[in-house]
Amino acid sequence: MNVFIAHLALADLFPNSNAIRLISPVFLWHIQCVDLFFILSGFVLNWVYFREADINWKGYGVARIARICPLYFATLFFLLALDLYSSVFHHIPSANFGGGRLASNILMASGLASDPGAACINSPAWSISVEMALYIALFPPLCYLNRKIGSRLNILLGLGILATTGLVLCYTGPQVIRVPSYLFCQARGVFGFMAGFFCCSIWRLVRLKNHTFNVMSLTASACAILAILEIIPKWLLPAIFPFLVFSTVNSTGWISRILGSRLFDYFGERSYSIYLWHFPMIIFFNRLFLYGHKELDGHYSPQLAGKTVLLIIFSTLLISELSFRCFECPAREWMRQKLAGRQKKLAELTVLQ
């Protein structure tokens, strides 16, 4: 929701509104939100798959594809259909059908391009492309490394600190290190995923009192708010997030209870839908109501802009709910059942042989 609201604020639909200018900075930490996605991803995969003595890598692969791909391609093809309609009936040109651009999006490789946000047809999906690469290339070696390390807490702490430092350097480094800035986008995924992964491994080994977790979560939350309000540097947020995740995952303390409330749980389950559907809805209603309707000063009328924003918000939440219930969950379950059925048949054939 923060990324969604930030993108609405950055659309500059209300350039003369003092209220919007006052509110929007509170949501303009959407870039760091993506780092939180990567951290949570590394943490959750460690949490789920290290419960098993041996990871079923085929099941893991199908589960990752079932979780990520159906919605990714649904939103991609929606935008392509919208571009095709706009091109044929309204003569609005689109570069999305260019061979290289289209192929990279279909192959989920656009997040690895020199300008990930611009290369993605559904702009926020660059992080999903990076996420898929992390599932394939980073998670298996991390699992191997973690099993070799075992319960040596000092090494895990060192790796967690190293990954978190690397994540922070992705924000401070471009001014110091002379390398292409786009490389820091992919590096944020690598370091964020690693930070979350080792954070989970550390959490399994550390035994702290609930009071300590509560103090840690309150401190991390206070520091995060200070960074969001830019009272302290915003680039510190990626260093704060691992501590916030670590201190709230045990479901004790005030912050954990707030984050575990029904409202947050509701949005948490639908966060992937909201993340991928909000940009297509912004494009759709922009073309439906705003295209060609700027006034002489280069802005939209407050009435038109207000109506468009309300429709974008309502439509995004509605389509995200429908997508989650009627498409994502059924598609995920169908793909997993297909895998289970094939595995059962293979097991039966093995027994017969």
pLDDT of the residue at 94: 83
Give the number of other Cβ atoms within 10 Å of residue 142's Cβ: 19
pLDDT of the residue at 153: 92
Cα 104 to the center of its chain, rounded Å: 19
Distance CA 190, CA 134 (A): 7
Indicate the pLDDT class of residue 347, thresholds 50, 70 and 90.
low
Q: Let me know: does 114 contact 182? Beta carbons within 8 Å.
A: yes
User: In degrees rounded to 5, what are phi and psi of residue 291?
Assistant: -60, 120
pLDDT of the residue at 236: 92
User: In degrees rounded to 5, what are phi and psi of residue 179?
Assistant: -135, 160
Give the number of other Cβ atoms within 10 Å of residue 77's Cβ: 13
* pLDDT tens, residue by residue, 95-106: 888 778 899 999
pLDDT of the residue at 16: 60
Tell me the HSE value of 228 on the side-chain side, using a 13 A CA sphere.
19
pTM: 0.89
* pLDDT tens, residue by residue, 161-195: 999 999 998 888 655 555 555 667 889 999 999 99
Residue 29 CB-density burial (10 A; 0-12 exposed, 13-18 middle, 19+ buried)? buried
- Asked whether the predicted pLDDT for residue 232 surpasses 90, the reply is yes
Give the number of other Cβ atoms within 10 Å of residue 242's Cβ: 27
Per-chain mean pLDDT for the chain:
86
> What are the tokens at 11?
């659309």
Which parts of 107-261 fold into alpha helices (H)?
A: 116-119, 126-137, 139-149, 153-172, 183-205, 210-228, 237-248, 254-259
Q: What is the DSSP letter of 261?
A: S
pLDDT of the residue at 272: 95
Q: What is the DSSP letter of 236?
A: G
Distance CA 274, CA 277 (A): 5
- Asked whether the predicted pLDDT for residue 346 surpasses 60, the reply is no
Indicate the pLDDT class of residue 271, thresholds 50, 70 and 90.
very high
Q: What is the mean pLDDT of residues 23-47?
A: 90
Distance CA 177, CA 166 (A): 13
17-21, 171-175, 334-338 — which is least confidently predicted?
Answer: 17-21
Q: Let me know: does 33 contact 3? Beta carbons within 8 Å.
A: yes
pLDDT of the residue at 253: 82
Q: What is the mean pLDDT of residues 88-101?
A: 81
User: Would you call 266 helix, strand, or coil by DSSP?
Assistant: helix
Closest listed residue to residue 76, CA positions, set 124, 129, 122, 107: 122
At 288, which amino acid appears?
L
- Asked whether the predicted pLDDT for residue 48 surpasses 60, the reply is yes
At 13, which amino acid appears?
L
pLDDT of the residue at 322: 96
- Asked whether the predicted pLDDT for residue 328 surpasses 70, the reply is yes
Cα 206 to the center of its chain, rounded Å: 28
Q: Let me know: does 211 contact 54? Beta carbons within 8 Å.
A: no
Indicate the pLDDT class of residue 266, thresholds 50, 70 and 90.
very high
pLDDT of the residue at 7: 87
Q: Is the dihedral of CA 342, 345, 351, 352 positive or negative?
A: negative
Higher pLDDT, 69 or 345: 69
